[in-house]
């Protein structure tokens, strides 16, 4: 990913954290792609180092309800950006920003 793309990704993630979410029924990857045209595969490596990582890089945010797998919770579109599930999603955005910033030495 180029430096320019990293900066675009950081700005998109900040936008999501701030509540400017193009599609509230979608997660981080779809919204970032909508804003920047950057694919998740270019930054999903940062999911692995997030302390709450679900273990599934397609559905990195763990389910707030332990009886559901992350993919089931995502497909139900339960509070994608609000409540505990939304806070975890925003925390992952912050983690990605932190990792990108370290790489860029900002």
Closest C-alpha among 91, 106, 95, 94 to residue 3: 106
Largest CA distance in the chain: 41
**CA gap 91, 97 in Å, rounded:** 10
Structure token pair of residue 41: 């595969």
Yes or no: say if 32 and 40 are a contact pair by the CB < 8 Å rule. Answer: yes
**CA gap 88, 21 in Å, rounded:** 15
Inform me whether the pLDDT recorded for 106 exceeds 70.
no
Quick one: what percent of the chain has pLDDT higher than 70? Answer: 97
Mean pLDDT of the chain: 92
pLDDT at 105: 83
């Amino acid at each position: 990913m180029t430096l320019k793309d990293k900066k675009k990704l950081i700005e998109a993630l900040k936008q999501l954290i701030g509540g400017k979410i193009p599609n509230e029924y979608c997660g981080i990857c779809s919204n970032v792609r909508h804003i920047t045209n950057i694919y998740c595969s270019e930054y999903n490596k940062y999911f692995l180092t997030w302390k709450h990582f679900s273990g599934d890089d397609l559905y990195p945010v763990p389910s707030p309800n332990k009886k559901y797998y992350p993919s089931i919770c995502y497909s139900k579109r339960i509070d994608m950006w609000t409540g505990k599930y939304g806070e975890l999603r925003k925390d992952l955005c912050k983690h990605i920003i932190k990792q990108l910033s370290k790489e860029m030495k900002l």
